[in-house]
Structure 1
Amino acid sequence: MLKKTLLAAALLAGFAAAGAARAETSITLYGIVDAGYGYQNYKYDRGGADATAKSSGLRDGTLNGSRFGLKGSEDLGDGLRAIFQLEQGFDIGTGQSSSDRQFHRQAFAGLSSDAWGSLTMGRQYSAGVDTFLVDNGFNMGDADKVFGSMGMNEGNRVDNSFKYTTPSLSGFQAIVMYGTGDSGRLTADGYAASATVGRANGVSFDDRGSRVSLGLLYAGGSISAGASYDRQSVYGDDIGGGDASAATNWQINGSYDFEVVKLSLAYGQDRHGKIGWGGSVEDFADFEGLGLGNFFGTDFKSNNYHVGLSAPVAGGTLYAGWGYSTSNADDLAPGGAAGDLSGSISTYHLNYMYPLSKRTSVYAYGTYGRNLAYVRDLKGTEAGVGLSHSF
């Protein structure tokens, strides 16, 4: 009887030890699947041109980009953890990957501490993304159609980067990021590897230089606020029709929840281009041959604004937003001033989201935009419905 008791105790101790070991390490498979129906109509009617681009059908990733990922942590003791995250996007309509990279959305590893914050290394979101906290639209109504460094475009994910995030101190949190550029990776012939970083001087360009990204967050009760500064340098000359001046962006945003309605405000500036911009002509429609959207140069400047209101309605959330950006693009067209060929961007957006559960929501949206991509009289209309499920 004593032997059986000792054996049972030994087995229980073994199971307890195994359970403790499993508790020390965790790996999570997660993702979002987002699909629906959408209609888009973009029109340019100026200077003898009469171009229209229309489309309708299945839309993927309208509310949230469809993705899957792995993230995990290992408890190293004394509040210290080893962490990692690998995330890939995909098109639910075709099943294809969103990029030829294996994990193009995020890929990083590092250490995290309750007392000291986290230090991570790899391909990560910039501080401009992490600190833009205000309620926002999507597609043409997204703030990245007027702001640089705010959306989820290529330039807002920083390769070869080191990122430190402080713990929350009385509601405040800071972010410091440095991306080493391509100089840290060499090809077989000894030259620095090339990486496209998005739109800085109005074109997609390679040979990225270093990236500095700084951010500050605050969350306290009904108030939340964020601010960031991003600087993207490039190698070489003659980028986008001018010299290779570093593109910079700063923004400040905040929201206050009045319970009945939530007000969101944001303001920012871009200099020498728009980092990771999601509002170029090619992001809306292919008007090949019309020569649109060439108003960028090394002296480009823009001032960007966002106002949003959201309120609980019938168990869901109704959002209305306005985005606006004015620039000096009328003086920067190649070969001379653009004059009245350029204009200030305005977007007007309305959406409604209704949760079917904690993981699944349905939504409807409509957007109208004028002078898209700073091109005067380039107008757009979008509308659609969709379903977003997270797992």
Structure 2
Amino acid sequence: MKKSLLALTTISAFSGLAHAQSSVTLYGIVDDGFNWTSNAGGTHLYNVSSGVIQASRWGLRGGEDLGGGLKAVFVLENGFDLNSGSLGQKNRGSSQGLEFGRQAYVGLSSKFGTVTLGRQYDSVVDYVGQFEAGDQWGGYIAAHPGDLDNINNAYRVNNALKYASANYSGFTFGGVYSLGGIAGDYSRNQLWSVGAGYSNGPVMLAAAYLNARNPNVGFFADNGASTAATASTNFISSPVYSGYASAHTYQVIAAGGAYTFGRATVGATYSNTQFLNLGDTATSGPNPKAYTGNATFNNAEINFKYQLTPALLLGAAFDYTKGSDVTTRTGTSGGAKYYQGALGVDYFLSKRTDLYAIAVYQKASGTDSTGATAVAAINNLTPSTTDRQSTVRIGIRHKF
């Protein structure tokens, strides 16, 4: 009797495992095209580049039904350069790329939400990013100058614990916490963010908050290698805010929304980005201009898209960025202003393949974070040597 009961229990256990539902999906995007830039470091530039409207990538997404409404989930997502075959998401200041630099996480999902661990996106990206033109039809060149508020996802979060709620009648919320990993100082290099969104018919709204300690080494370095970033190096490339590498804290408050009527959608974003407690050269970064206090940027974008036909999308956007004055040991340094306009056309040959064109123009004025006369610096391009810069992109994208 005891042997029979043991056998029945064993068979039942294996039977439950055999009936567990699991799946793995391979997906990706390949994006390539031609570019013209009016002034890249002082010269006209004609080149071919990969991943502008969307970064080229491939990934594996999977899950397993564990029963009782519980499910195991994972994502491994690699970014790459289509023209050279090299890995994307390179460590700042290094030629080394990350194998799964876009996302890499595992976790559990239930009717109460999803908890995941790994390299992930912060709440500003998750909730507000969808309202920016760059995340829709404009690509990274239409992002805010230097992607200073990270709405376009220039930087990702390592060592992150993340919660995303279920959808409650259109309302969602979530948060991220990243451990700094510094022995004896739990707050050093740590990051946390929270966000919420609401969608009901033609109306969509969202807001989010991001706070990163020692951001130059803990966030902007984007370091996925075994060698830790150090405060002696500036890991920020954009002159829009590279002078603020010594900030002890980086903070973003962002909000966005959109309203759809017929074939048209009007959207907007606002962000307040602050580099707090400048001058932390011991644990954050260099401070050649001897800044103290805080530096603040206010950014506002309005965008419009129109589905002219089921296959043809038109887009337009205007973005304004204003930087504050910054205190130095001898006085103050005036802030910069950036005006940016973008136009886009996207024609879908099929559900998976489209041809697109994007044009972006930017004008700068004032004094930038480096203490020099501000130059135009379209996101992820070599900055201009003047206060103006234009770029045009013609590309093809295929999703699988």
Please tell me the TM-score bracket, short chain as reference: 0.7 to 0.9
Number of matched pairs? 322
- Counterparts of 1:154-233 in structure 2, within 5 Å, are 154=155, 157-183=156-182, 209-233=189-213
TM-aligned CA distance change 1:183 to 1:138, over 3 Å? same
Which of 283, 287, 300 aligns to 1:305? It is 300
- Counterparts of 1:258-337 in structure 2, within 5 Å, are 258-272=261-275, 298-314=293-309, 315-328=311-324, 330-332=325-327, 336-337=331-332
Q: What residue is the counterpart of 2:381 in the other structure?
A: none
1:303-342: CA deviation from partner (whole Å, max 9, x where unpaired): 11010011112431100001111011x4357865334xx5
1:183 Cα deviation after fit: 2.5
Q: What residue is the counterpart of 1:153 in the other structure?
A: 154
TM-aligned CA distance change 1:268 to 1:87, over 3 Å? same
1:150 Cα deviation after fit: 0.8
Check whether the contact 1:369–1:381 (CA below 8 A) recurs between aligned residues.
Answer: yes
TM-aligned CA distance change 1:76 to 1:57, over 3 Å? same
Question: Does 2:370 correspond to 1:390?
Answer: no
1:67-105: CA deviation from partner (whole Å, max 9, x where unpaired): 111111000012211011111100001111113222111
Whole-Å separation in 1 of the counterparts to 2:348 and 2:340: 26
Whole-Å separation in 1 of the counterparts to 2:22 and 2:313: 37
- Counterparts of 1:81-120 in structure 2, within 5 Å, are 81-98=71-88, 99=90, 100-113=97-110, 115-120=111-116
Q: What residue is the counterpart of 1:356 in the other structure?
A: 349
SS of match in other structure, 1:181: coil
- Counterparts of 1:58-69 in structure 2, within 5 Å, are 58-69=48-59
Whole-Å separation in 2 of the counterparts to 1:384 and 1:140: 9
Structure 1 residue identity aligned to 2:65: D
1:371 Cα deviation after fit: 1.2
Q: Percent identity?
A: 29
Q: What residue is the counterpart of 1:380 in the other structure?
A: 389
Check whether the contact 2:196–2:206 (CA below 8 A) recurs between aligned residues.
Answer: yes
Q: TM-score, normalised by structure 1?
A: 0.75
Check whether the contact 1:37–1:57 (CA below 8 A) recurs between aligned residues.
Answer: yes
1:144 Cα deviation after fit: 6.0
Whole-Å separation in 2 of the counterparts to 1:241 and 1:256: 36
Deviates more, 1:93-102 or 1:75-84: 93-102
SS of match in other structure, 2:141: helix
TM-aligned CA distance change 1:24 to 1:220, over 3 Å? same
1:179 Cα deviation after fit: 0.4
Check whether the contact 1:230–1:249 (CA below 8 A) recurs between aligned residues.
Answer: yes
1:107-129: CA deviation from partner (whole Å, max 9, x where unpaired): 1000011x111000010000010
TM-aligned CA distance change 1:148 to 1:209, over 3 Å? same
Q: What residue is the counterpart of 1:10 in the other structure?
A: none
1:357 Cα deviation after fit: 1.2
RMSD: 3.0
Question: Does 2:42 correspond to 1:41?
Answer: no
1:352-384: CA deviation from partner (whole Å, max 9, x where unpaired): 111111111110111100118941553210002
Whole-Å separation in 1 of the counterparts to 2:147 and 2:60: 32
1:26-51: CA deviation from partner (whole Å, max 9, x where unpaired): 011111000011111227xxxxxxx6
Check whether the contact 1:108–1:124 (CA below 8 A) recurs between aligned residues.
Answer: yes
Question: Does 2:109 correspond to 1:123?
Answer: no
SS of match in other structure, 1:131: helix
Q: What residue is the counterpart of 2:139 in the other structure?
A: 138
Check whether the contact 2:205–2:257 (CA below 8 A) recurs between aligned residues.
Answer: yes
TM-aligned CA distance change 1:140 to 1:294, over 3 Å? farther
Whole-Å separation in 1 of the counterparts to 2:162 and 2:197: 15
Check whether the contact 1:65–1:89 (CA below 8 A) recurs between aligned residues.
Answer: yes
1:182 Cα deviation after fit: 2.8
Structure 1 residue identity aligned to 2:298: N
Check whether the contact 1:362–1:388 (CA below 8 A) recurs between aligned residues.
Answer: yes
Whole-Å separation in 1 of the counterparts to 2:331 and 2:67: 63
Structure 1 spans left out of the alignment, 5+ residues? 1-16, 44-50, 185-190, 193-206, 274-292
Whole-Å separation in 1 of the counterparts to 2:353 and 2:213: 41
Structure 2 residue identity aligned to 1:257: T
Q: What residue is the counterpart of 2:256 in the other structure?
A: 253
Check whether the contact 2:244–2:275 (CA below 8 A) recurs between aligned residues.
Answer: no
TM-aligned CA distance change 1:334 to 1:139, over 3 Å? farther
1:9-63: CA deviation from partner (whole Å, max 9, x where unpaired): xxxxxxxx99x958711011111000011111227xxxxxxx6132112121011
1:205-248: CA deviation from partner (whole Å, max 9, x where unpaired): xx961101101011111111111000001289898678643110
Whole-Å separation in 1 of the counterparts to 2:74 and 2:269: 32
1:143 Cα deviation after fit: 3.4
Check whether the contact 1:351–1:363 (CA below 8 A) recurs between aligned residues.
Answer: yes
Q: What residue is the counterpart of 2:338 in the other structure?
A: 345
Whole-Å separation in 1 of the counterparts to 2:363 and 2:206: 28
SS of match in other structure, 1:344: strand
Whole-Å separation in 2 of the counterparts to 1:259 and 1:270: 34
TM-aligned CA distance change 1:363 to 1:242, over 3 Å? closer
Structure 1 residue identity aligned to 2:140: N
Whole-Å separation in 2 of the counterparts to 1:335 and 1:42: 34
